[in-house]
Amino acid sequence: KQEVTQIPAALSVPEGENLVLNCSFTDSAIYNLQWFRQDPGKGLTSLLLIQSSQREQTSGRLNASLDKSSGRSTLYIAASQPGDSATYLCAVRRAAGNKLTFGGGTRVLVKP
């Protein structure tokens, strides 16, 4: 059974500092991995999707890496801003079926 863990559960940084969010998964037979952002009381917004054959994906200040063999992904957010405050979730999709397995999320606060 796939398990996804995100550490830390919460993170507080001053504005301008780089953010490093970690995601680990127990079964390396994944199809892809997605990072989402969730604002309070809102749904999920997809940030980056990394295919199992890729090592990283970049979008603006966001960079996500994937090491499938060790079961890890890291989301880097450069030069954090107060608007980056949100909960960040990672989810892995297995090679067969429809299921996304989510981690518990990391709640980020960027202080001005």
Partner 1 sequence: ETGVTQTPRHLVMGMTNKKSLKCEQHLGHNAMYWYKQSAKKPLELMFVYSLEERVENNSVPSRFSPECPNSSHLFLHLHTLQPEDSALYLCASSQKIGPSNQPQHFGDGTRLSIL
Binding stretches for partner 1 (CB under 8 A): 4, 31-32, 34, 36, 41-46, 49, 51, 89, 91, 93, 95-105
Give the residues across from 76 on adjacent strands: 20, 63
Least separation, in Å, of the C-beta of 81 and partner 1?
A: 23
Please say whether the beta carbons of 92 and 52 come within 8 A.
no
Least separation, in Å, of the C-beta of 87 and partner 1?
A: 10
Q: CA 42 to CA 30: how far, in whole Å? A: 27
Q: CA 86 to CA 39: how far, in whole Å? A: 5
Nearer to partner 1, 47 or 80 (CB): 47
Q: CA 87 to CA 25: how far, in whole Å? A: 18
Nearer to partner 1, 36 or 110 (CB): 36
Least separation, in Å, of the C-beta of 86 and partner 1?
A: 14
